[in-house]
Amino acid sequence: MNAPPPSKAAAGRFFEDFEVGQRLRHATPRTLREGDASLYGALYGTRFAVQSADTFARAIGYPRAPIDDLLAFHVVFGKSVPDVSLNAVANLGYAACRFLKALYPGDTLSATSEVIGLKENANRQSGVVYVRTQGFDQHGDVVIDYVRWVMVRKRDAAARAPAPSVPDLPGAVAPADLGRACPVIDAAAYDDALAGSPYRWGDYARGERIDHVDGVTVEEAEHQIATRLYQNVAKVHFNQFSEGQGRFGRRLIYGGHVISLARALSFNGLANAFHVAAINGGRHVAPLFAGDTLFAWSEILDAAALPGRADVGALRIRTIAAKNHPCADFPMREGEGYEPHVVLDLDYWAILPR
Amino acid sequence: MNAPPPSKAAAGRFFEDFEVGQRLRHATPRTLREGDASLYGALYGTRFAVQSADTFARAIGYPRAPIDDLLAFHVVFGKSVPDVSLNAVANLGYAACRFLKALYPGDTLSATSEVIGLKENANRQSGVVYVRTQGFDQHGDVVIDYVRWVMVRKRDAAARAPAPSVPDLPGAVAPADLGRACPVIDAAAYDDALAGSPYRWGDYARGERIDHVDGVTVEEAEHQIATRLYQNVAKVHFNQFSEGQGRFGRRLIYGGHVISLARALSFNGLANAFHVAAINGGRHVAPLFAGDTLFAWSEILDAAALPGRADVGALRIRTIAAKNHPCADFPMREGEGYEPHVVLDLDYWAILPR
Amino acid sequence: MNAPPPSKAAAGRFFEDFEVGQRLRHATPRTLREGDASLYGALYGTRFAVQSADTFARAIGYPRAPIDDLLAFHVVFGKSVPDVSLNAVANLGYAACRFLKALYPGDTLSATSEVIGLKENANRQSGVVYVRTQGFDQHGDVVIDYVRWVMVRKRDAAARAPAPSVPDLPGAVAPADLGRACPVIDAAAYDDALAGSPYRWGDYARGERIDHVDGVTVEEAEHQIATRLYQNVAKVHFNQFSEGQGRFGRRLIYGGHVISLARALSFNGLANAFHVAAINGGRHVAPLFAGDTLFAWSEILDAAALPGRADVGALRIRTIAAKNHPCADFPMREGEGYEPHVVLDLDYWAILPR
C-alpha cells in the first residue's frame, strides 16, 4: 500500500477551482427503475395519464409509460452536484434546457458538465459558475441538455479570479427544437376523460391565467427522501446541525423539489400538458422550508405549432409558485422585485395533444 | 386558439351538481408497479406472506405475489375523489365492497362511479351523496365494486335539492359472493410457520376477540406519501395553510390510511387472513391526526365456508381501531356512541386457508 | 370451529423461553423488488455505482446491479425480530457476519435462527440471548450468516435461568472467508470516474483515518418507513404512546438504520468500497433519535488480499458514527468509554477493486 494522501474525502470545488472550458465527468451512473417512478409519484402526487398508465401511453404511441421528465432532470442534476455545487451559496438559474429522448424504466443515466462561464462577485468572496450539463442514456445519446448557473464560495478570497466570462443564453428554446422526446402520437386515441381535462392545445390562449387552486404542505422527510432519490447530496438539504447555525437556521429544500411540486399542482388546469419539452428559464426567488404550504398559478405565454407535426403543439407556460399564499390573486412582481411569498418563477414549454 | 373559458382548473362538484343515475368516468388510469407494492409495504409494514413473497404465493397456486387488496382499493378510491368528494365534509361510510379479481404488478386500474342516492341535510348546507364505484383492469374486467357515501357541501344553500333517495344496502356481502379474487389454493402447501401463525380458518370462533397489541404512531410525511401514492388529492390531507384555519386546525389523515394501518396491526393474531374478500361496512368514527398512535383489536363476527371450496374459508371480522389507547380492554361503544378514542369501525370478510 | 385459545396474538419470547440449541424458523418470506432498492436509495442516498447502475455492474462482471448488502441484511434481521427480540431491552452486538451470495431483484429471502448462548443478568430481570441467524434465498442457499446478541426481559424475575453459556466468537472474519458474494470482476473495466473516486484497494494504508465530512438529520417518518421496509416490527421504533412513557421518552431508531446512514456517508472517502463482505462486529454505543444529525469517520484497520483473486482486495474498516458532532476530530473513546456523542462502532470488511 502507498502512503495515504491527506484525505480521500472530497470537499468539493471552490470558485477558483473552475476554468472555462473545463469538462467534468460526473460520478454514479443510475438505472431508472419502476420503483423510482413509484416514489416520484408518491412524493408529488402527479397524475398525468401518460406517465401513470402503460395502457394510456400505448394507446397514443409510446411503447409504455415513460419516466417523468422532471425525475430524469433531477437525477442528471444530482450527478453534477458533487463536482459543481457542493460549496454553492445559491442555485441561481437554469436556461436552454431541452428534453431530447423519452426515457423508460431500465434506462441508465450518466452526466457530464462543461464550464461555460465564470464571473467573480464584487465582494470577492464568491463567484458565479455557468455550466452546461448533459445527461446521457446507456446508448450514449444525449437525453437532457441544459445550462445552469450557481454562486460558489471561494476557498480564499484573495485568490485571483479569471477574466469575467458570461455565456450568451437564449431567452427561450425555439419551437423547432421541441418535441424530440415525444413520439408522434395518435391524438384521436388520446382520451380526454381519462386524462382528466377536455382542454387541448388549441383551447389555451396567450395571456390566459390559471390558478391551480390546491396547496401542499412540505415535510422535512419528504424533501429529504426526494432529494436522495436523485442522489443529490448538497449539504444544505440534509444537515440541520450545520444549517441550524447558518443563514436560515433551517434545512433548505432543493429547488427541484419545488419545481416538481408546482408541476404536480399545475395538473389542475393543465392536465393535458403531458410532457415538459424544454425549460426556458427558472429562478428560485426565495427559499422554501418544511412546514410551508406551496401554491401555484400559471400564465400561458405563447403557443407554438411544432414543425411538421399535426399531433401535438407546445404551450409556453410561466408557472409561479408561492408559499403560504393561495394564488387566486396571481402573485408575482411588486415594484422592483417579487412579492414576498413568491418562491419560484419557471418558464417552460409543455407538449399537449392537438 | 379560442377564447379562454373562465378557468380550466376544476373546483369539484358540489351537492347540487349530482343527480341519481349520473355516471362519472374518472381520470388517470394507473398501472400498478412493483414499486407501489414496495412503498405500500414500507408505509404499513404489512407481513402477509402471500403478498410478500413470490415463492409463497406460487407454492399455494398464485402465479406470483398479488398486489395488496387495500392498495388496489385505495387507488380506485383515489380516482373517484376529484369527481365525487373534492368538496366533501366527511367520508361517511362504505358498504358492499367486493374484491373480484386478483391484481399483479403491471395491471392497470381505471374507475367509474354511478350516483345511486342523494339526500340533502336538514341544515341545507350540505347533503349525502351515495355512489357505486367500480374499478376495472386493462381487460375491462371489474376488479373492485363498492358503495360509499359522503357528505358534500352545497355551493349555494338555497339551491333546490332533489327528492331524497337512499339506496338499500346489504348489511354484509353474502358468502356466496366471496372468493372470486382468490384462486383455488393448495392448502397443504400453505406453510404456517412461514406465514407466521398456526391458526387457520377452523381455529377461530364466533365472538372471539383479539387484541392486536402493537401501536404505531403516524407522521405527516407518511400519510401524505401514502395518500399521494393513491393519487388521492382531497385537499384536507395536504394543505396545512387552509386546514390550519379549519375545523380541526390540522391536516386530516385519509381514512383509508387508517384502514391499512389497522389491517397491518391485525397481522398479529390474524396472520393467515391473507386476503380481504369484501368490506361489509366501514365507518370513520373520529379523525386521526399526525402524532397519534393507532391501536386495534378484532372480533370474529362469523365464519362461513365458501360454496364448492374446500381450500379456504371466510371469517367475518370486525376491527376497531383506537388512537392513543391500547386495546387490551377492547374499546368500542359507550352509551349511545363510541368511546372517544375509537376512530375506525370496520366490518370485513377475510379469506383463510382451511 | 374449536374453542379459542386465550389469545392468538403473539407477545414474543421472554428470556426464559429460550434454550441453547433451539431452532427458530422465522415468518414472512420476502421477495426483494426493484422498488425496495429504489426506496433504500431514497432513504439513505447511497451512491455506490455497482448497486446504482446495471450498466456499471455489467461492465465489471455482475449480471445486473445487485441488491445493496445492508438492505438484505436488514430484511433478514427483521424476520428474526418477532421470534428473538420483540421483548428486547437492547440489541447489544453483531459478530461473524458474512455475505455469501449476491442478491438481485426477484430473489426471495427467508431466515432461521439457532440459540447459541444464554446468560442471565445479575439483576435477574433480563438476560443476554445469543443467536446465529441465517438468511436463505429461494434456492435454499445461505446468503447471509451472522451472530447477534440481545438483552431480553424475563417474564418472571423468579424464573430459573439455564447455566450461563457464552459462545466463542471470532474477533474478525478471516480473509479466506471473504468475497463469495462478489463475482470475479474485470478491474480494468471498473471506471473510477464514474465510481466517484480514484482510490483503489492499494491506495489505502493501515491506520489511515477519513472524516466523511457530511451530516444527515434523521426524521421520524424516515426511520419508520425504513424499518417497515425491512418488516421489522420491534415496538420501540414505532409506538410513541408507549415509548413516551419509557426510558427515553422517544421512539428509538433501529440500529440498522444508523449503520446504513453511516455507510452512505462513508461514500465520501470510500467510494470504491462497493461491497460489504463481512461485519466483524458492531456495537450500538448510544441511541439515535429523530432530529439528531449523524456524522461518521472511518479508520482502515487492515488490508487483505483474497486468496486466488487478483481482481479485488479487502479493507477492514472501522466506522464510527457520532450524533450532533462533526467528525473532523475523529471522536471515539474517552477514558473508560466512548465519547458521549458516539452512537455506532462498526468493524467490517469491504471489497474494493485492485
Can you spell out the DSSP letters for B152-207? EE-S-TTSPPPPPB-----SS--GGG--TTS----GGG--HHHHT-S--GGG--TT
In B, which residues are within 8 Å of A288 by CB distance? none
Distance (Å) from the C-alpha of residue A102 to the closest C-alpha of chain B?
A: 18
CB A92 within 8 A of CB A18: no
For β-strands A333-334 and A275-284, DSSP reports them as unpaired
User: Which residues in chain C are closer than 8 Å to B221, comparing Cβ atoms?
Assistant: 219, 221-222
B–C CB contacts, 8 A cutoff, strictly below: 155
Least Cα distance to B108 among B67, B152, B56, B58 occurs for B67
Residues of chain C found within 8 Å of residue B104, distances taken between Cβ atoms: none
- Residue B334's pLDDT is 74
* Distance separating alpha carbons of residues C212 and C191, to the nearest angstrom: 22
How high is the pLDDT of residue B53?
98
Give yes or no for C19 touching A (CB within 8 A).
Answer: no
Residue B234's closest chain A neighbor by CA? A214
Using one digit for the tens of pLDDT, what is the confidence trace for B203-225?
Answer: 999 999 999 999 999 999 999 99
Q: What's the complex ipTM?
A: 0.96
Residue with cell 442528471: A76
The helix (run of H) or strand (run of E) holding residue C38 is helix C34-44
- A2 has a pLDDT exceeding 60: no
Task: Give the three-class secondary structure for B17.
Answer: helix
Q: Residue B112 is which amino acid?
A: T
What angle separates helix A34-44 from helix B220-229, to the nearest 10 degrees?
120
**Searching chain A, which residue's CA lies closest to the CA of residue C324?**
A241
Distances (CA, A) of A159 to A89, A127, A166: 18, 12, 20
Q: Which residue has the higher pLDDT, C337 or B279?
A: B279
Type of residue numbered B228: R
**Partner B contacted by A52 (CB < 8 A):** yes
CB-closest option in B194, B202, B213 to C29 = B194
pLDDT at A336: 81
The beta-carbon neighbor of B195 closest among C27, C108, C226 is C27
Residue B155: band (very low, low, confident or very high) from pLDDT cuts 50, 70, 90: very high
Smallest Cβ distance to B229: which of A42, A65, A195?
A: A42
Q: Considering the entire predicted model, what is its pTM? A: 0.97
Integer Cα distance of C32 and C28 in angstroms: 12
* pLDDT score recorded for residue B6: 67
C250 forms beta bridges with none
Alpha carbon of C143 to those of B128, B190, B330, C28, C102: distances in Å?
Answer: 56, 24, 43, 17, 8
Residues of C in contact with B295 (CB under 8 A): 241
A47-51, B264-268, C30-34, C92-96: segment of lowest average pLDDT:
C92-96
Instruction: Tell whether A192 lies on the interface with B, counting CB pairs under 8 A.
Output: no
Q: Which residues of chain A does B24 touch, with a Cβ-Cβ cutoff of 8 Å? A: none
Q: Return residues 297-326 of B near C (CB < 8 Å).
A: 303, 324, 326
- Cβ contact, residue pair C205, A8, below 8 Å: no
CA dihedral sign, ordered A305, A306, A310, A314? negative
Chain C closest-CA separation from residue B215 CA (Å): 5
CB < 8 Å to A38, chain B: 33-36, 38-39, 229
Query: Distance between CA atoms of B303 and C321, rounded to whole angstroms?
Result: 53
List B319's β-bridge partners, or say none.
Answer: B298, B346
Residues A239/C213, Cβ–Cβ less than 8 Å? no
| 3-state DSSP assignment of residue B131 | strand
Contacts of C206 in chain A (CB under 8 A): 1
Q: Do the chains contact at C229 and B44, CB–CB below 8 Å?
A: no
Which residue ranges in chain C fall short of pLDDT 50? 1-4
How far apart are alpha carbons B160 and A246 in whole angstroms?
Answer: 59
Torsion angle of C-alpha atoms B116, B121, B124, B130, degrees rounded to 10? -20
Candidate from C27, C225, C233 with C-beta closest to B194: C27
Is residue A334 predicted with pLDDT exceeding 80?
Answer: no
CA distance B98 to B84: 20
Q: Where are the beta strands (DSSP E) in C238-331?
A: 275-284, 293-306, 309-323
pLDDT score for C336:
80
Cβ(B299)–Cβ(B291) below 8 Å: no
CB spacing of C9 vs B202 below 8 angstroms? no
Listed by number, the residues of chain A in 277-296 with a beta carbon closer than 8 Å to a beta carbon of chain B are 291, 293, 295
Pairwise CB contact (< 8 Å): B193 & C27: yes
Residues B18-72 pLDDT 10s: 999 999 999 999 999 999 999 999 999 999 999 999 999 999 999 999 999 999 9
Chain A contact present for C163, CB below 8 A: no
Mutate to test the interface with C, among A38, A81, A138, A241 (most CBs of C within 10 A): A241
Which residues in chain A touch residue B33, judged by CB atoms under 8 angstroms apart? 34-35, 37-38
HEC assignment per residue over A170-219: CCCCCHHHCCCCCCCCCHHHCCHHHHCCCCCHHHCCCCCEEECCCCEECC
The pLDDT of residue C4 is 45
Closest CA to B73 of B169, B126, B168, B144: B144
> How confident is residue B7, by pLDDT bands cut at 50, 70 and 90?
confident
pLDDT beyond 90 at A332? no
Q: Output the furthest CA–CA distance in chain C (Å, rounded).
A: 69
- pLDDT at residue A1, rounded to an integer: 42
Tell me which of A40, A47, A251 to substitute to probe the interface with B (most B C-beta atoms closer than 10 Å): A47
Res. B5: pLDDT tops 60:
no
pLDDT, one tens digit per residue, over B284-333 is 999 999 999 999 999 999 999 999 999 999 999 999 999 999 999 999 88
DSSP state, C100? -
pLDDT digits (tens, 9 = 90+) for A196-211: 999 999 999 999 999 9
